[in-house]
Each structure stands twice: as C-alpha cells, then as structure tokens.
Structure 1
Amino acid sequence: MEQNPIRIAQIMGKWIGGGVESVVMNYYRHIDRTKIQFDFICDDDSTNIPYDEIESLGGKVVLIPPYQKVMKYHKELKRVLEEGNYKIVHSHINTLSVFSLKAAKDAGVPIRIAHSHSTTNKKEKKRNFMKQILRPFSKTFATNYMCCSELAGRWLFGDKEYNEGNVYLLNNAIDIDKFKFNEEMRKKARKELNISEDKLVIGHIGRFVETKNHSFLIDIFREIYKRNNDSMLLLLGQGPKLEEIKEKVRKYNLQDNVLFLGQRNDANRLYQVFDTFLLPSLYEGLPVVGVEAQASGLPCLFSKGVTKEAKVLNTTQFVSLDNSAEVWADKTIQFTGFFQRVDATNEITKNNFNINNEAQKIEIQYTNLLKKK
C-alpha cells in the first residue's frame, strides 16, 4: 500500500520574496515530494507568495494573522497545526520562533524545529533590542535546532549547543545549473537592458532594508563612477527604504547610471549581466544571493559582516565596513579589471551548496527525526 508523504508545516512569517523564502523553495523543488511534502504557513499580509507553484508541487499555503496580534496568532496557528495533524513544524522566523513553537507545542506537534537564518549588528539598535530580548526564549519550545551557518547557529542557540553537535547545519543550497555562467545569455540580457558589452556593470540583489546597507552601496558606486563613467549599478529588490535610496541617487545625479529593477523572477539571467557583485551588508546569516553570484562565476566583494562560510570561490574577497567608499571602489575596479569568468560548478558542489545533494540530506534528517520520536 502506498504511503502518504510526511507533511511538514514550514512557518515562514511574512513572505516578502526574500532569501529565506528562496532557500525553502529551492529545497521544496528538489526533495522527493512523494516522501516529503511542505505546507507553508504565512502571515496574512504577505506579498509575492508563489501560490500556483506551491500547489502544483503538491503543497498548500495557509494564511494566519501576524505574530504582532499575539493572541489571534497563537489561536489560529494552534488550530491549523491541530487540524493538519502535523508531526513536524519547521520555524524559519529566528527569535520569533518562541511564538510559533509555543503554538506548535500546545497543538501537540512532537518535532518542533527552530531555524536560525540570521545574526545581528550593533548598528541596528532598535531591531537588536527586540532580538536580544527574545533570543534566550527562542529555544524554549524547540525540540531541534537548525542553522544556515556556524555564526547564525552560535548566535541563536549558543556555543555549548553548537559545540555539542546539537545544531544541524543546513546550507543555503542552490540549483547550480540555473546559475552557471552563460555567455550567450549574458549578451542577450544586456541587449534587452540596452547595456553595451564594454560597460562595467556592478550588481546587487537585496531587500531595501537597513541590514543590506544600500546607502553605503550608493556611496561606493558614486566613487566607482568618478573613476569610470562608463559604469552602471543594477539593483534588484524592493522594500521600505527604496524611495530613500532613489532620492540619494538623484541627489548624486546618478539616475542615468543606477537601474532599479524591482522584484524579479529572472535573477539567474541578471547575474550574467553583472561584472562584479557587491554585498556590503551590516550582517548576514548566509546570503543565498552570495552563493548564486559565485555560482555564476562572478567576482564578489562581501563586507566582513557576511559569514565566512559564504566564500565559495577563491576570487571572493571580504572588505571591512570601516573602510571608506573610496577604498571599496578602488578594490572593485582592481578586482574586475582582468577577471575571466569560469564554470564554478565543482567548487559549489564541493562546498555543499549543490541543491541536488543537499535536498537528499534534509529528507534523511526529517525522516530520522520522526523515527527517533
């Protein structure tokens, strides 16, 4: 008799089409869905949820009130988990997992996974205050811990838990075939964007929030443009700080050289257009865009706020945010000048970021957790 797949409730919080959602969807597309199925529980004010794709893969989306409405959130999530008779809940909302996993425990879900996707930075004081308050409680209702990087794991769950092997490291793996360098695709995409072959294109993908440090990125590009006025900055993403950044671009009179492309579903094509990828984030758990950029053979400059595991290729460099925009600009131009893009498939796979391999590992992990229970 054919068995039904194990259904796992993936607690996503507010779906905004960011890196965490990208990672979970990558795994969903590549797991054996006859054995494991995902249901996505999202806040009802989410945007960009790929309903059609999720349903076509056999999953479903359930909308609930956001955690800020604490009582409604708890009541509705508990009801959803009870009615779904879930045996595993996997919460991706970092310190806020205290709320989701409390509801899961009250619903009688035996396996409750807290997943750390992030760290922190002293520059985000207001946000950090809430993070620091909730951090000690994030483990309270969890039975198992996961993280995207060592730094993220240690930050949320503590050195002791990490050192004792109690935190499972799940890499932010990608579909490498989708991202590898393609000269023909590069030419076609540049032509569509009306960008000449010899123009220097700096690329960045990220939500317009404080963490991603767009303001400093514009400072860097201003210095790059002073050194090479045949250059462009392409920005993908959306978010609350978008208008503020657009205003800064106008203030610097760079609007003809900075292209805001919004939320896109063809990022793999746009990596081909770039000559260099910049990620001057205040902090990152492990940026999936950094892995994707390297998979497409791009030279990358990351801030030292980005976890070290994000470095896959030897060509990737880390630069301190204590350095000036001028220093970043000089490094970018030096870095890009004589660079030849190569197929990075082997390096990505060797560093455990190939989704075809990593998806099998998470299947085994879920199955083993159920067997132990």
Structure 2
Amino acid sequence: MVNPIRVAQIVGKMNGGGVEAVVMNYYRHIDRSKVQFDFLIDSDSSLVPREEIESLGGRVFEIPPYQHVIEYQRELQRLFREEGWKIVHSHINALSVFPLRAAKKAGVPVRIAHSHSTSGKGEYAKNALKAVLKTQSNRYPTHRFACSRFAGEWLFGKDANFEVVYNAIDLNSFRFNAEAREQARADLGLVGGQFVIGHVGRFMAQKNHPFLIDVFAEVAKCRDDAVLLLVGSGEDEDSIKALVDEHGLSDCVKFLGQRNDVNRLYQAFDVFVLPSLYEGLGLVGVEAQVSGLPCLLSDVIPREVDVTGECTFLPIDTPVEWADAICSLSKKSYEGRKSTSIDSFANYNIDQQAGWLSRRYLQLANGDII
C-alpha cells in the first residue's frame, strides 16, 4: 500500500475557535488513506483535540508561540527540513507570512496561504500589523486559498489568483428537527415558549459582545420572555459577564461555554444574531440558515454568507435598531420553522468539499502546481 501524503497544517493557537474547527471538520471527512494531517500548533494553545487527532492517524507538533518570531521560524524551519512535508498549509491569515517564509527557506515545494478573516474597525493595533503583513502576503505562498471571495481579495488583492475553499459542514446534522428542538430547550431549562436569541462565537473583540449585550438590554424592554444564549469561551468572557450583571440581565442571559453540540443548540434558538466587527465569512451564519433560523448579521459580514437570500444585515451603530428588528419578528416566523432543503447549500457539503480538497492535495503533491 502507498503511504498517504502528509500535509502540515499551521493553525496557530488551538483555543476552540472557528478556524481550527473548520480544519478538524475537513480532517474527519477527508480520505485519510490518501491524505493525512499533521498539526503544528502554538505551545500556549488551550484546547487541543490531541487524542482525536492521533486516533485518526495525525500528529501534533508544539512550536513556540508566533509572538516569538525568531524562535517560531527557527523551529518551523527545523521541522520542515526534518519531516520533509511536501505541502504546508497555513491558516493564520496575514500571519502566514512567517511560517511560509520558513517553509520556503526549508525548500517545501507547495506552500498554501489560507485567508479565513479580514479586519474591522476598533482593533487599531491589530489592523496596523495586518496592513504591514498584507504587503508580503503574496511573497511566500505558491498557492492561495480563501473561505470567501471577500476574504481572498482582502488578503491577496483583487487581482490575485486564489481558490475559494468553503468552510464546509455536515449539513444534515444542522437541519431543523421539531423533536430535537423540544429536547434541547428542555435540557437548557427553557420554560414554555420563551423567546430565545442565540449567538455562537469566541469571546473576543471581533465578535462584538458588548454591543450584543446592549442590544439584548433593549430587547428585554419589549420582550419579557426573551433569553440570550451565548455559546463559546474566550479571554473576554469575564468582562462580558460583568457587563451582563451591570445591566441586571443575569437571570435571562445564559453562558453555555465551549460546546461540541452546537448543532443541537441551534434547534433551541428562535433567532440567530452575529454583530461581528469583521468576518472572513461567518460560517455560523450558514449553520443557522441550515437550521431554518432567521438571521440578523452585521453589515460588514460578506454577503456570500447569505445562502438563502433571507438574512438581514444591519449596521453596528445603534443597538435600538437591532432590538427593533428582533422584536418585530412575529411568533409565526419561528413557530412555523421547518426543515431546510440542503440543495442550495451544496458548496458547504463537507463530503463533497473534503473530496475536492483531497484531490487537490494529491495534485499538488504529484507536482501539478497549477
């Protein structure tokens, strides 16, 4: 038997965020008899699914955090030379400059830069760094991937050649099911017909949780049955809990933490909200649509996320506008919820997309570098 090709996946810090979840989802569904993943992660990662990775045939290599640029690149260069990977696939957006520079120095023939994100207002220091790194974004990769056209053009430029690699999911696991909804709401301790607003995202500046809490404070004035469910974890979680306390909303805001059953939680929601400062795509918005939920998204999120054509995009300026949109949802809009046809979500079908990625890796490993 021919051994599978091994692809070095640069994922940065594994902290339960969206990018590493996407890579893991592909890994679970790819043809591992032909393609195997090795994960190169920062040593200060907090949520590493090492046991699952190793059970699937992969390996985990810990490297110095990317903030220590010299040590980071030195260790990567050593690993690239010793392990002899033909393909290095970096998922750390503008920071991919550093691992791909090391890969080029080590003679790795196929170097993929993958854009998963963009930038937005408010993160001045981060945006300044991104602006500098973007000037080098096309210097070291041999190939360019992006989760959306918007994300690709942001990192590589409007005239650059790149391939859109969709953040695919198991569509059937997200489809609406009335029995699953009833059970999920019971498990969460929801009473009767409480109106549930749901958000899925890491507690970090990008996700704009303070604005969301301000929105919910306004919703609570017009809907005394409203509940806000926050799924995720992160460095800003404690400050958001304090903000909820300040608003006197502790009884109707639930922090659900990092979960591996998010598909079930969507069943319990009545509306999905994502007021992010920026997104490369906003895959959770796709998941919510597959679940048949009405979606309110910030107007800086790429319109590519709107698969059904029924998402509402709002500016992230005034919480009252968001609250009015949420409160105006009639009961019929969520009581009449039904299972969504997945035909229009074909680009996000993990079985199809994992098959494509497997074939693409094999082409590249065999010297087809087009």
TM class by shorter-chain length?
A: over 0.9
User: Could you list the runs of 5+ residues in structure 1 that have no partner in the other structure?
Assistant: none
Q: Is the 8 A contact 2:5 2:365 kept in 1?
A: no
Post-superposition offset of 1:349: 2.9
CA distance in 1, matches of 2:218, 2:144: 43
CA distance in 2, matches of 1:321, 1:215: 11
**Aligned match of 1:329:** 323
Matched, 1:215 2:210: yes
Residues 293-372 of structure 1: matches in 2 within 5 Å?
Answer: 293-322=288-317, 324-335=318-329, 337-339=331-333, 340-350=336-346, 352-371=347-366, 372=368
Which SS does the other structure have where 1:137 is aligned?
coil
> Which of 69-78 and 249-258 deviates more?
69-78
Matched, 1:99 2:93: no
Q: Is the 8 A contact 1:348 1:354 kept in 2?
A: no
Q: Deviations over 1:2-37 (max 9, x none)?
A: 111111000001111111011111111111111111
**Aligned match of 1:265:** 260
**Aligned match of 1:18:** 17
**Aligned match of 1:234:** 229
Post-superposition offset of 1:47: 1.2
**Aligned match of 2:120:** 121
Residues 14-93 of structure 1: matches in 2 within 5 Å?
Answer: 14-93=13-92
> Which of 338-347 and 142-151 deviates more?
338-347
Which SS does the other structure have where 2:159 is aligned?
helix
- TM normalised by structure 2 equals 0.96
- Residue 190 (structure 1) aligned to one of 185, 188, 192: 185
Q: Percent identity?
A: 51
CA distance in 2, matches of 1:336, 1:262: 29
CA distance in 2, matches of 1:315, 1:138: 34
- Residue 253 (structure 1) aligned to one of 238, 243, 248: 248
CA distance in 2, matches of 1:359, 1:145: 17
Q: How many residues align?
A: 366
Structure 2 counterpart of 1:245, one-letter code? I
Which SS does the other structure have where 2:198 is aligned?
strand
Post-superposition offset of 1:213: 0.6
Residues 268-283 of structure 1: matches in 2 within 5 Å?
Answer: 268-283=263-278
> Could you say if the C-alpha distance between residues 261 and 190 of structure 1 is closer, same or farther in structure 2, counting changes exceeding 3 Å?
same
**Aligned match of 1:174:** 169
- Residue 288 (structure 1) aligned to one of 283, 288, 300: 283
- TM normalised by structure 1 equals 0.95
Which SS does the other structure have where 1:239 is aligned?
coil
CA distance in 1, matches of 2:73, 2:190: 50
Structure 2 counterpart of 1:343, one-letter code? S
CA distance in 2, matches of 1:61, 1:256: 41
Q: Is the 8 A contact 1:173 1:355 kept in 2?
A: yes
Post-superposition offset of 1:336: 5.2
Post-superposition offset of 1:346: 2.2
Q: Deviations over 1:40-92 (max 9, x none)?
A: 10000001111111111111111000111122111211122222210000000
Q: Is the 8 A contact 2:290 2:342 kept in 1?
A: no
User: Could you list the runs of 5+ residues in structure 2 that have no partner in the other structure?
Assistant: none
Structure 1 runs of 4+ with >4 Å offset: none
CA distance in 1, matches of 2:127, 2:152: 17
CA distance in 2, matches of 1:47, 1:181: 32
Q: Is the 8 A contact 2:307 2:345 kept in 1?
A: no
Post-superposition offset of 1:337: 2.8
Post-superposition offset of 1:265: 1.2
**Aligned match of 1:130:** 129
Which SS does the other structure have where 2:328 is aligned?
helix
Structure 2 counterpart of 1:172, one-letter code? N
Q: Is the 8 A contact 1:92 1:114 kept in 2?
A: yes
> Could you say if the C-alpha distance between residues 299 and 56 of structure 1 is closer, same or farther in structure 2, counting changes exceeding 3 Å?
same
Structure 1 counterpart of 2:345, one-letter code? T
CA distance in 1, matches of 2:155, 2:47: 28
Q: Is the 8 A contact 2:177 2:339 kept in 1?
A: no
CA RMSD of aligned residues (A): 1.3
